[in-house]
A and B are shown apart, each in its own frame.
Chain A
Amino acid sequence: MRKIILLPLILFVLLLGFLAIGLRRDPHEIPSPLVNRVAPPFSLSTLQPEQALFSPEAMRGKVWMLNVWATWCAACQEEHPVLVSFAQEGLVPLVGLSYKEVQAADAPEGKPFTPEAKLALARQRSLAWLRAKGDPYSLVAMDLDGRVGIDYGVYGVPETYVIDKQGVIRYKQIGAVTPAVLAEKIRPLIQELNRS
């Protein structure tokens, strides 16, 4: 009997192996190419004070976290208490990035929707939300049109980045930060980064 007759079976076993491994993976999770690259620069208005601007360069020399959120995002609501209690520890500064807080549907009837009006509405909403649910952020940058989000590869809020003292992104969390994630991934990383 020629050995080639075993080929289909061998190929099938190989396929089974890959399928078995594939079952344990999540095809929806997209790792970020930005890890181990310098955090993209930007300059955005902050939530408070109203005239100030924020840039990632301002955080050089510190390990810090950037959390992308919005008041309309359901998962952010779930994540928020975790962030509030984490921020209370004062381990690292937590900077918020308010992502596309205001949408086209919020436009006032008949009047043109100016950038100033958008910013004002976004500030108003975010402040109200933070006052009600607690404010874990040392400051919040306002990304109204989502362009900074695109630069950071944001595709679904909430997302959180851990950035080191040289301004390099070291970790990206896709989806809500949970206590498990904090314990397994973020805290050890922060400890390590703080040592260097």
Chain B
Amino acid sequence: MGATALLLALLMSLAGFCLAKEAVEIGEEPWVEARMLKLSEELRCLVCQNETLASSRAELANDLRVEVRNLVKQGKTDPEIKDYLVARYGDFVLYRPEVKPLTWLLWFGPFAVLLGAAGMGWLYLRARKRHTARNALSAHDRARAEQLLNPVDRP
């Protein structure tokens, strides 16, 4: 009786070992998961205040992630998947706005401003040089100033 109990306990502990396993990733295939995550990081969770589809735990976000996984498995490309979602939810769902005339100001604006500001800075430095050159002390004035500031004949 004691031996049976011992054997049973041993078997059960072994069974426990067999059941403990390497945890499985939520999405089954790593390559699907990787693509889904990369896409979802640029997609917006529509029911959250401001979160990506990748990180949100909302119900709709879960559903949309499943949808994206399915689309990836079907072999759709990234642009096709984005178009699929935009057709249903509008541009709002993209965190990276498409480059189209509506967003030219957004994408090219900063660099245009940079060029403009750099140009203004250059013009400023140049105008400045001319101005200070005009107002610079003449050699005579400079010598007088030197003398006044550092009188040589101090005891």
Contact = CB atoms under 8 A, between A and B. Distances in A.
B46 interface: yes
A156 interface: yes
Q: Which of B59, B60, B86 has the most CB of A within 10 A?
A: B60
Interface string B46-75: 110000000000011001100100000000
Contacts, number: 37
Contact of A155 (B60, B67, B86, B87): B60
Contacts of A150: 63-64, 67, 88
Interface of A is mostly: loop
Interface in A154-169: 155-156
B90 A155 contact: no
A30 B92 CA distance: 7
Contacts of B92: 30
A33 interface: yes
A155 B60 CA distance: 7
A44 interface: no
Contacts of B47: 155-156
B89 A153 contact: yes
A155 B92 CA distance: 12
A152 interface: yes
A103 B58 CA distance: 13
Interface residues of B, number: 14
Contacts of B89: 30, 32-33, 153, 155
Nearest to A34: B88
Given A146-B63, A150-B64, A150-B67, A33 B46 contact: no
A156 B46 CA distance: 9
Interface string A32-57: 11100000000000000000000000
Interface in A99-157: 100, 103, 145-147, 150-153, 155-156
Interface string B105-137: 000000000000000100000000000000000
Contacts of A34: 87-88
Interface of B: 46-47, 59-60, 63-64, 67, 86-90, 92, 120
Interface of A: 4, 30-34, 100, 103, 145-147, 150-153, 155-156
Given A145-B63, A153-B88, 20 more contacts: A4-B120, A30-B46, A31-B90, A32-B89, A32-B90, A33-B86, A33-B88, A33-B89, A33-B90, A34-B87, A34-B88, A103-B59, A146-B60, A150-B63, A150-B88, A153-B89, A155-B46, A155-B89, A156-B46, A156-B60
